[in-house]
Amino acid sequence: MSTRREELPIARQDEDEPRKEPAAPKRRSASWRRPWKRLRRRIGLVLVRLCGPFVLGRLARTWKLQVLGEEHLQRALGSSPGHFMALWHGRMVLGLPHHGKRDWHVLVSPSADGDISQRLLEGFRYAVIRGSSSRGGARALREMLNVLERGSVLVITPDGPRGPRHAMNPGLAWMARATGYPVVPVGFGVDRAWRLKSWDRFTLPKPGARIAMVYGEPVRVPRDAKPEDLERATRAIHDHLIAAEQRGFEHLGVPIDW
């Protein structure tokens, strides 16, 4: 498919008709957008580095966490100590305090937003692997394999870093096939929270919030899986994640937030 952009046809104008000037204000507004985003990321990185883990840790002490579906986690641990854990990008904060200080690793994109995530994760004693399918993928895969072989857990947000929300590609299923380790979906329900107007509706529970963390049924992908098998495994991970979140909200007795 050609990547050339087609030019829109421009209607001819009579000489008497005044020519329209380019929309300069719009271009000026767009020119300011990128520097502002860079400045916002830098400010966010400084704030997260200085006080993010401290503030979130104090806030998390007020949360009331309930864990459901632990039999699924034990099933994965019984068959293979090392495994993947999948959760939606917008829920990453909800499980941070509970799973911290366990020598768990998190795959984080090599982007400016990933820098902010890394600082926050390291504040809760997570190890971070930087990489994606387009940047550093081979190196990241080697690091992931070493982590899993040591019996550790590798956390991945399959709809990140750009979304759309709850969308998945076969990347996680492909990694599960390549490494031979299962994927444990984990969903979250929360009764009251702040939700950002971002693509992932990033969720931060309010003080005293009740949270239900639900481990879903593990998904295994055989080493000889074909492309259609990867698609089925991807759908299974997605469906188990959705089911885990539905169970969490139902357990709390509050409407689901998507």
Q: What is the pLDDT of residues 207-220, one digit of tens each?
A: 999 999 999 999 99
**49 Cβ partners below 8 Å, 6+ apart?**
119
Tens-digit pLDDT profile for residues 23-47: 555 555 556 677 766 666 666 556 6
Residue 34 lies in a domain: no
Closest to 238 measured CA to CA, from 174, 176, 185: 185
Residue 200 lies in a domain: yes
Residue 195: strand, helix, or coil:
strand
Residue 39 lies in a domain: no
Residue 45 lies in a domain: no
Contact status, residue 185 vs residue 216, Cβ threshold 8 Å: yes
Contact status, residue 106 vs residue 121, Cβ threshold 8 Å: yes
Q: Is the pTM above the cut of 0.75?
A: yes
Model pLDDT, residue 100: 80
Residue 128 lies in a domain: yes
CB burial readout 177-188, b (16+ within 10 A) else e: bebebbbbbbbb
Residue 93: strand, helix, or coil:
coil
The average confidence (pLDDT) of the chain is 82
Residue 246 lies in a domain: yes
- In total, how many domains does the chain have? 1
Model pLDDT, residue 20: 52
Residue 114 lies in a domain: yes
Tens-digit pLDDT profile for residues 233-244: 999 999 999 999
Average pLDDT over residues 108-131: 82
More confident residue, 78 or 11: 78
Please identify which residue in the block is written with the tokens 């990933």: 114
State the Cα–Cα distance between residues 146 and 31, nearest whole angstrom.
Answer: 44
Whole domain around residue 214: which residue ranges? 64-252
Closest to 135 measured CA to CA, from 97, 160, 109: 109
CB burial readout 35-44, b (16+ within 10 A) else e: eeeeeeeeeb
Residue 52 lies in a domain: no
> Edge-to-edge, what's the strand order for the sheet holding 127-130?
64-68, 210-215, 183-190, 83-86, 153-156, 105-108, 127-130
